[in-house]
Amino acid sequence: MATALFSRASGFGPLFAIIEAEHGAEALRCLRRESGFAAAAHAPSALVPFALMNRVYNSAAKLCGDPQFGARVGQTIRLEDFGPFVEYALHGETLGDVIARSIVAQPAHSSELIQDLRLLGGEARWRIRYQTTAEPTVEHHAQRTLMQMLAGVRRAPGVQDAAIEIHVAEPYAAEARILEDRTGVRVRPRANDYELAFPARWLGVLPLAIGLPPDLAVEWATYPDRALPRTTAEAALAALDLRDKLPGIGAIAADIGLPSRTLQHALHKEGVSYRELVGAFRLRRALQLLATTRKPVAEVALRAGYSEPSSFARAFRSQTGMTPGRFREASRAPMRAPLVRASS
């Protein structure tokens, strides 16, 4: 069974700001419509299906006409802003330790790729390998990631750009020269992998900023209860969370990179239908809006995906045992929140 791959919203960096600044607000709205990513605001740790993130990168690059758009975005993301797993890695005692920590910590941050480090003679190769073969291209996402890796290597004192080589899978020598001009590093196109190559002796170099290694569990706690999805139902719910309007199963399947039938069968094996999943999501969104905002109940109903406030009130009462207004009062009172009855 195919697995839905996920990343974090921090991976977008300033992508949307770049599009708006260079092409205007209408172009940004067009990008969101075309890619299917409608969320105007998102926490850096928010889950984003990799198929959706990759679609955004490819659409943005096409809009800009920039064959190195991913690299441009990657060069503007501060390593410290990328995520706790990078913060953890940067506290390594040597460059080799920084890379080893990044390899170990990556799976808690995202699942679209894995990293490894190979030693070939006197050369070290820090590689990323994507876990999907379904995407038309991962070129721009890979460029972004390679820029992060390059920034990490450059933090070690004494490293020289002339001794670093970027390997990319794209077969276009002309684009490789553009990337060389952008980075100041030699680029080898038509490689089998996306990786950085540099002298293996650098692995023992001490980074510029050395601190006490933080406890990994403390770092992971900064992800606010947003572990990567472990089931297909969790993956679909995470994709729904990025939508303003709740779409049909086909759109969500595309967001998480699965065929509609595959998603339907996977949910069936987990004992839930897409309709039931959407119903549970609607209720969860309504509970959150009622508890944390003062929006009128009618607006809450619409934002939760109900066409009529009356149908929302009936559904809400059948599953919680109280009216939306009563729940709002109870959620702000110093008492235990009501239990939600499972729908039949």
Q: Are residues 212 and 137 in the same domain?
A: yes
Q: Does 107 reside within a domain?
A: yes
Q: Does 177 reside within a domain?
A: yes
Q: Are residues 203 and 257 in the same domain?
A: no
Residue 256, C-beta contacts closer than 8 angstroms, at least 6 positions apart: 4, 5, 49, 51, 52, 235, 236, 239, 263
Which residue did the predictor score with more confidence, 309 or 73? Answer: 73
pLDDT band for 313, please (50, 70, 90 cuts).
confident
Give the residue from 228, 246, 274 where a domain finishes.
228
Q: Are residues 177 and 256 in the same domain?
A: no
pLDDT band for 153, please (50, 70, 90 cuts).
very high
Pairing of strands 186-188, 165-167: parallel
Q: Are residues 89 and 205 in the same domain?
A: yes
- pTM attached to this predicted model: 0.84
Of the listed ranges 112-126, 153-167, 213-227, 260-274, the one predicted with least confidence: 213-227
Kindly report the average pLDDT of the chain as a whole number.
86
Range of the domain at 284: 232-331
Q: Does 311 reside within a domain?
A: yes
Q: Are residues 90 and 189 in the same domain?
A: yes
- What is the model's pLDDT at position 135? 80
Q: Residue 276, exposed/middle/buried by CB under 10 A (0-12, 13-18, 19+)?
A: middle
Q: Are residues 139 and 160 in the same domain?
A: yes
Q: Are residues 191 and 240 in the same domain?
A: no
Please measure the distance between the N-terminal and C-terminal CA atoms of the chain and give it in whole angstroms.
Answer: 28
Give the residue from 228, 251, 278 where a domain finishes.
228
Q: Are residues 209 and 272 in the same domain?
A: no
- Our count of domains for the chain comes to 2
The tens digit of pLDDT for each residue in 14-45 reads: 999 999 999 999 999 999 888 877 666 677 88
Q: Does 20 reside within a domain?
A: no
Q: Are residues 165 and 266 in the same domain?
A: no
- What is the model's pLDDT at position 2? 64
Q: Does 181 reside within a domain?
A: yes
Q: Are residues 203 and 294 in the same domain?
A: no
- What is the model's pLDDT at position 202? 96
Of the listed ranges 209-213, 216-220, 270-274, 329-333, the one predicted with least confidence: 209-213
Average the pLDDT over 317-334 and give the result: 82
Q: Are residues 224 and 239 in the same domain?
A: no
Q: Does 337 reside within a domain?
A: no
Q: Does 44 reside within a domain?
A: no
Q: Are residues 151 and 273 in the same domain?
A: no
DSSP 180-231: HHHHSSEEE-S-SSEEEEEEGGGGGPPPSS--PPPPHHHHHTTS-S-PPP-S
The tens digit of pLDDT for each residue in 184-195 reads: 999 998 888 899
The tens digit of pLDDT for each residue in 252-285 reads: 999 999 999 999 999 999 999 999 999 889 888 8
The Cα-based distances of 199 to 162, 165, 207 in angstroms read 11, 10, 15
Q: Does 242 reside within a domain?
A: yes
Q: What is the CATH number of the domain that holds 323?
A: 1.10.10.60
pLDDT band for 335, please (50, 70, 90 cuts).
very low
- What is the model's pLDDT at position 108? 87
